[in-house]
Amino acid sequence: MDPHAEKYYSISPYAYCMNNPVKYIDPDGRKIRGFYIDNQGTVHYNKRATEDAVFIAKAMMRTDAGNTALENLVTAKYPVTLNIQKGKSKMDRGLLGHTDTHINININKSKSSTGKIVITKEIRKVDITLYKEKLQEMVDNYRGMANGTKEMKGPDDLDLLYKQLVPSLEDMFTTVATHEGTHGSKKGANDNFVSTEKAEQSAESAEKKSINQLIIEKNENDKKDKNN
């Protein structure tokens, strides 16, 4: 029986995968988030998906790194939301995106003779938000860096990659969603389970892979245009 059946009264609690096991995969009856993976491992979405989630997911699908992060979010054992905020972050105006991880803390007594208290943490829910206005601001900054009309103080490796890409707004959604999606889908990239430094290194690594893949695609397209 589906453990979340009470949330979908129109569907029988005994109906595996909404009576369509060929189209949907639901191995443990977790909450439906509007996305599913078919038998070929391809991510799809249904009518339950929000407009923001569909937009972000399509952006992530543009690179292998982004698609990997998306697949991990879709197959997560906890609910995930993907949101777009038109303004800047109220928490930090420098943020391009934010991953809010809700945690359950379990306190149990060890079964061993010592009877020690064992504390474990599990992810209960993940909310990912991307800030459209800030992303557009960065698009303008990187274009300015590329054409020499703007300078960025102390650009790091990530900035230099973006300068090489000269990203569009869609590109920024692709790469930043990959970064935040990695935070939300990997404990090794989530500061609730590892240090903030290690979490950022892991998420930034995925972001850089995504940028590099977009650069390769851009260069290939440029070559095709020249040949034509």
> pLDDT tens digits for 98-136?
999 999 988 887 776 677 888 889 999 999 999 999 999
* Res 222: pLDDT: 83
CA distance 122 to 210: 28
CA-CA-CA-CA dihedral for 181, 184, 188, 190, to nearest 10: 120
Burial label, 221 (beta-carbon count in 10 A; 0-12, 13-18, 19+): exposed
* Res 13: pLDDT: 43
Q: What is the pTM of this model?
A: 0.80
List the chain residues with pLDDT less than 70.
1-33, 88-93, 112-113
Beta strands (DSSP E) in 92-185 are 97-109, 117-131
